[in-house]
Every structure is written in C-alpha cells, then in structure tokens.
Structure 1
Amino acid sequence: MLKKISLCLSLLMSVFVFGQELNCTVIVNSDQVEQTNQQIFRTLERSLNDFVNKTRWTGRQVDPEKRIECSMLLTITDFENSSFTGTIQIQSNRPVYNSNYQSPVFNHQDKQFNFNYVEFQPLFFNPNVFDSNLSAVITYYVYIILGIDADTFSREGGTPFFKQAQNIVGLAQGSGYLGWQQTDGNRTRWELVDNLLSNTFREYRLALYNYHRLGMDNLADNQLLAKKSMAASMNLFERLNQNRPNSFVLQTFFDAKSEEIASIFSGGPQTDTNDLVSILSRVAPLYSETWSRIN
C-alpha cells in the first residue's frame, strides 16, 4: 500500500513539475541609451513578455496559479540602428509548500548579451535552427528556469529541460555571438548548462532537491527537522566545492539563497549552527558578512 501511495505521489508531482510554465515579468531598461524615441524599447518589452509567457514551453496546459514566478531584466547599454548591446538578469522563484512564500532559486546576470532586433519583428524559436540571438538567449534561460525548478521538486527532474538548453548552445556556437562557446570566458551559457548536466556537479542538483523538498517544504510542519535537512544539504555543496572550487553553479545558488539561509537559521527552533557557518564560509566566502548574522 505504501509503495502504491508513493507511486501516486510521484506521478502527481511529475505532472505538477513538468506541467509548469512561466509567469515572467520582462523589463527592458534603456536608461543608459541616448535615444529620444523610446518606442522601440517598449515594443521590444511587450513582445518579449508575450513570447515568454504565451509560449507553451512544456507542451502542457497549466493553471495560472501553478506557473513559475520569474523575471528577466534586459539593461540596454548601447543601441544603433537594429543592434542592441547590454546585459540580462534572470531570477526565478519556487513556491514553498503550505505557505505563501516564494523561495528564490536562481539569480544570474549574463553580461555577454547582444542581438539584432527590428521593431515589430515577430519573436519565435525554432528548436532546429539558429535564427535570432535574442530568441535563443531568452529561450535558453526559459529552459534553465524550468530545469532548476524541476530539480527542486524531483531528484534530477530538470534533465529534459537542461538538454533543451544544451541543444540551443549547440545551434548557437557557430553564430559568432558571445557566451555560447567554452572559450568565451567564465560564467558563459555553455559553462552553466555543461555544469548542470555533468556528473561532476551532481551534488549541486541533489542539494537543490534536499534543500527544497526535504527542507523548505517541511518548515510549516516541523521547523527543526526541516532546518536539519537544509543544513545537511550544505555538506553536498562542500563536497562539490572540494572537487570544483568556486564553481559557476555554486555561485548562482548562493547569489539567490544567501539572505534566505541567514534568515531561516537566525530564527525559530535553535540548531547547532557552528558547523553550518563553517561550511558556508568555506563554500561561499563572498557572503561571510551574511553568514555572521547566523546565530
């Protein structure tokens, strides 16, 4: 009977995860561009919002309340004719069971972002052909968001989405645009999805599941047990950090999670945080000031 119940729960969770789409706020910031006519930036913003939110990325119909809350901020630093240069900041959240809280799961700024766009140009994505760097970058991050979200609900459940993102990388590598190749520097789109699909970084994905499903989702019922599960997931990060110090995926995790971790472990039922703070200081030293608030 227990096996049947577990199977049913797994199937329901699978439908929940893979049926999710996005409720994404896309903002185009053109404050740094000396351009009298701002209309093209507003048109671009509307088109991107429609593209991201109205495309059925998973092929399933999803209720609005189950969509992933996320945002994309395009900051345009240079614009000439139809050529745009700037950055894109991507953030996504994940609902916590039995609460109204949205837990941040991904926070990353991509600084290698340039594209061509003509006003009113339709935006679409062809999974077999590289047509537009704008569409490719946006679609790539849609699948990264979907994959990371799925990993928090099911162990390595995001693999199909990460493979979609990896396919985009393969199509884009001959385009000449920065960010798609291994040789384009650190924190590239190539590196991010390579890390996510590599067995070398498997601890990151397992920690995502343990932290959220075994930890965050149990906070309402048993805070002490939840906090212990969340603290234990940091051991996986330490193991990863020993093998791959300062890895890209670790940086994205703590860029999203540092404030949340400090808040959770600074209140509620007390646990021994000495070991936790020690691990966090080794794994994410950039946030040492944040960790100092944990007591």
Structure 2
Amino acid sequence: MRLAFLLLFASTLLRAQSEIKWTVNLNTQQITQTDANVFKTLEQELVNFLNSRTWTDDVFQEEERIEATLFLTLSEATTANGDNEEIIPNRYTGTLAIQSARPIFGTGEVTPVLNYQDKRLEFTYEQFQAIQLSDQTFTSELSSIIGFYAYIVLGMDYDTFSALGGQPYFEQAQQLYNRLPAALLNSGGWTSAGKTNNRYLLLENLLSPRMLPMRRAAYTYHRLGLDQMLTDPLAARQNITLAIQDVQSANQVYPNSALVQSFVDAKREEIIQIYTGATGAEQNAIIEMLSRIDPSKAGSYREIRSGGSGAINRRQAGKR
C-alpha cells in the first residue's frame, strides 16, 4: 500500500512539471506612471502560470523539457483626450518576442526552433490578478495570448520529432482562437483582416495545406538532419538541403509568410555554420535558395564561402 502511494505521489509530482522550461523577461522602461511593483507581480504570475501548467499527456524527463524564453516590452495604453493623451488604467501595449530550442541528439547542444516577434500585444492586467486558462471558455486577453504561444511552441517542437507531430497542439491553439469574443477577433493581434503578420496569420500558416512543405521541412531538418550529424554527417547535410528546398517551395506558394520568416530568423547562423564545410556546389545551391527565401539577408549567406561566424548554442541537453 505504501509503495503504491509513493509511486502515485512521485507520478503526480512528475506530471505537475511543465513540458516547457520557461524564462520570462519584462522590459518596462517605457512605463512612466504605473507602480513598478505591478510588473514584478506580473512577471512572477507569468512564471508561475507557465511553469506549473502541463499541456500534454506525455511525460517529459528534466533534460527533455523544451527551453523557451518570453520577452515582453510594455508601455501604458493611452487614449486621446482633446489635444492630450490620457493613460488607460491597467491597460498595456507592446511587443512579445518568443524563442524556443530543442536538443540535438547525442550532443550537448541545442538548436533554435522558434524565433518570432508579436508587435501587436495588448491586454489588461490588475496587480495580483491570477493568470488562468480554461479549455472550455475565454478567461482573459493575457492568458489567451500566453496560452496560444505555449501551444505554438509545443506544436513546432513536436513537428521536429515526427512528421506533422505538432498537429494536435496547433489545433488546440485554433480552439483557443475560436473561444475569443468577437471584439478581440477584430483586434490587431488576432484579426484575419489584412496581411500584417499577427497571431491569426501565424496559426493560418501552420494549418494551411499550402504550408505542408514547411512543416515537413521541420522534421527533415531536425530529425533526419541535425540528429544524424554525428553518425552520418554527409547524409545529414543532404537531408538539411532537402528541408531547405521544402522551405523554398513553401515560400514560392506563400510569399512573405510568418512561418518562413520565423524559420530563417531562427536558423540563419546555424545554416551558415553547417554549410561552411560543404562542397562548393552545395554552398552555391544553398546560398542561391536562401537568398531567394530571405533576400534582405543575402549578404549573410555569402559568409558560407568564407567560413561563416555562426555557432550552434552549446549547452547540456538530452533528447526526447
């Protein structure tokens, strides 16, 4: 009886640990009139919410947890009052940058998976207000935004371990979107109107049949590429080339997509490092493809021929 109880207790403790190991950073330098203690509380509430919630039915060992960092840069929301602007109490705007990484099999290194910036952040928060997320109903703007990105991080991570493995988590993000009230659905961060990158377009990219090559590329690049580098580096690099070809295909049918831009932002330095040791023909092919996919950074990819300057982040990590 005691053994069974201890095993159950240990299992409960393990499941209470989030699959994602979150770091949260708040930049409030633009805040002028709100008590700074409000944001200390907000940061702690975000950390507690993110690191105590479980999002999947899978059990993650400590070394398997996804590493993710959330950067919020906030300012006070204002409204016009005659010729002046008036601060709206407890209302904040700003940007949210999110990054995630996963381990490379058999190494002490991790590789970036998601690198995305949300420039249309807006929410209401009162000090000591608990951040809660329901699977059935809308709770708040802030919890919806944070929950949405947690599902995106999970889905993109799972896509790197199995072909289209992140589908259930992208569908969870869609269900969260569907629970939003009409007023939010018409707001800048969530609206389906226009072509400006926002949460709606990121989710649409991930669920669109047009972007299946992009999702396939995540698996080919990571599981058949990076994870095989130690055992067969030539085949691994060839698979990474195939993945980049898929990225190019996705970019051709869906130009300037949020998902493609997130990929090149996350992988640019890593790709430069990988192809530094490739043949001249491989280098030329990759430089040509990536210059079309990411034209504003074409000069960076030409560094491949000169040895590059990128480096994969070296940190102790395991493999799920």
Higher relative contact order (CA 8 A, sep 6+): 2
Q: Give, in whole Å, the separation in 1 of the partners of 2:98 and 2:231.
A: 31
Q: Does 1:198 align with 2:208?
A: yes
Instruction: Name the structure 2 match of 1:8.
Output: none
Q: Does 1:139 align with 2:137?
A: no
Q: Give, in whole Å, the separation in 2 of the partners of 1:235 and 1:194.
A: 21
Q: Does 1:158 align with 2:166?
A: yes
Instruction: Name the structure 2 match of 1:287.
Output: 297
Instruction: Using the TM superposition, give the Cα deviation of residue 185 of structure 1 relative to its aligned residue in structure 2, in angstroms.
Output: 4.4
Q: Note the residue ranges of structure 1 that are not aligned, 5 or more in a row.
A: 1-18
The normalised TM-score by structure 2 is 0.82
Structure number with bigger Rg: 2
Counterpart selection for 2:128 from 120, 123, 128? 120
- 164-173 vs 175-184, which moves further: 175-184
Contact 1:26 1:72 in 2 (8 A): yes
Contact 1:150 1:157 in 2 (8 A): yes
Instruction: Name the structure 1 match of 2:189.
Output: 179
RMSD: 1.8
Instruction: Using the TM superposition, give the Cα deviation of residue 144 of structure 1 relative to its aligned residue in structure 2, in angstroms.
Output: 0.1
Contact 1:112 1:179 in 2 (8 A): yes
Q: Does 1:78 align with 2:76?
A: yes
Q: Give, in whole Å, the separation in 1 of the partners of 2:287 and 2:93.
A: 40
1:69-126: per-residue Cα shift (whole Å, max 9, x none)? 0101111022542111111101000110011111001111101111111111111101
Amino acid at match of 1:110: D
Amino acid at match of 1:228: Q
- 54-63 vs 263-272, which moves further: 263-272
Q: Give, in whole Å, the separation in 1 of the partners of 2:179 and 2:255.
A: 30
Instruction: Name the structure 1 match of 2:257.
Output: 247
Counterpart selection for 1:233 from 239, 243, 249? 243
Query: Which runs of at least 4 in structure 1 moved beyond 3 Å after TM superposition?
Result: 267-271
Instruction: Using the TM superposition, give the Cα deviation of residue 259 of structure 1 relative to its aligned residue in structure 2, in angstroms.
Output: 0.9
Contact 1:224 1:270 in 2 (8 A): no
Q: Does 1:47 align with 2:45?
A: yes
Structure-2 change in CA distance of 1:30 and 1:252 (3 Å): same
SS of equivalent to 1:182: coil
Instruction: Using the TM superposition, give the Cα deviation of residue 288 of structure 1 relative to its aligned residue in structure 2, in angstroms.
Output: 0.6
Contact 2:104 2:227 in 1 (8 A): yes
SS of equivalent to 1:110: strand
- 173-182 vs 22-31, which moves further: 173-182
Q: Give, in whole Å, the separation in 1 of the partners of 2:230 and 2:147.
A: 35
Instruction: Name the structure 2 match of 1:256.
Output: 266
Q: Give, in whole Å, the separation in 2 of the partners of 1:24 and 1:184.
A: 32
Structure-2 change in CA distance of 1:270 and 1:68 (3 Å): farther
The normalised TM-score by structure 1 is 0.89
Instruction: Using the TM superposition, give the Cα deviation of residue 270 of structure 1 relative to its aligned residue in structure 2, in angstroms.
Output: 7.3
Contact 2:99 2:114 in 1 (8 A): yes
Q: Note the residue ranges of structure 2 that are not aligned, 5 or more in a row.
A: 1-16, 78-87, 306-320
- 282-291 vs 181-190, which moves further: 181-190
Q: Give, in whole Å, the separation in 1 of the partners of 2:195 and 2:32.
A: 29
Amino acid at match of 1:92: S
Q: Give, in whole Å, the separation in 2 of the partners of 1:268 and 1:238.
A: 20
1:238-258: per-residue Cα shift (whole Å, max 9, x none)? 222221222221111001111
Instruction: Name the structure 1 match of 2:98.
Output: 90
Contact 1:172 1:180 in 2 (8 A): no
Instruction: Name the structure 2 match of 1:13.
Output: none
Instruction: Using the TM superposition, give the Cα deviation of residue 35 of structure 1 relative to its aligned residue in structure 2, in angstroms.
Output: 3.8
Amino acid at match of 1:70: A
Structure-2 change in CA distance of 1:36 and 1:142 (3 Å): closer
Structure-2 change in CA distance of 1:249 and 1:93 (3 Å): same
Instruction: Using the TM superposition, give the Cα deviation of residue 59 of structure 1 relative to its aligned residue in structure 2, in angstroms.
Output: 3.7
